[in-house]
Amino acid sequence: MSKLLTVAQQEVRFHLSQRSFYITLIAMPLVFAALGALPRLQNAMERAPLPPVETVFNLGSETLTAPVGVVDHADLIQDFDQFQPFESEESADDALSQKTIDSYYVIAADYLESRQVVEY
């Protein structure tokens, strides 16, 4: 029995002296916590409301009464039925100052990553 305790004591000392033991001791609970949190985060993302600008761009059956311009640097909008397209912000700003449109949106070139849309 004393040989068994001696071997167990040496094994414990060996593993406690290893740096990988402490890394695993901390990393494993974090991995399990992250795996448990992923489904909750996915559910929260699915239930999150759309940003207001995306709601405007997905109007479907509604018709905008006021003319609205759009400068689409990301080339995302294919159907300009409800928007007046502009090639540059300068031309949209000129139309805004001449009162031919009430407002315009500028969609950033990296919109899919940044979700950046500016309204003027």
Pairwise pLDDT comparison (26 vs 55), residue with the higher score: 26
Are 69 and 38 within 8 A, CB to CB?
Answer: no
pLDDT score of 61:
47
Rounded to an integer, the average pLDDT of 99-109 is 84
The pLDDT score that the predictor gives to residue 64 is 52
Q: Which is more confidently placed, 75 or 106? A: 106
The pLDDT assigned to 103 comes to 85
Task: Give the pLDDT confidence of 72-83 residue by residue, as tens digits.
Answer: 878 787 776 778
Query: Domain ranges in the chain?
Result: 2-47, 52-119
Of 101, 96, 97, whose CA–CA distance to 82 is shortest? 101
Query: Phi and psi at residue 61, in whole multiples of 5°?
Result: -90, -15
Residue 83 and residue 101 in contact, taking contact as beta carbons nearer than 8 Å: no
Q: Which residues pair with 84 in a beta bridge?
A: 69
pTM for this entry: 0.44
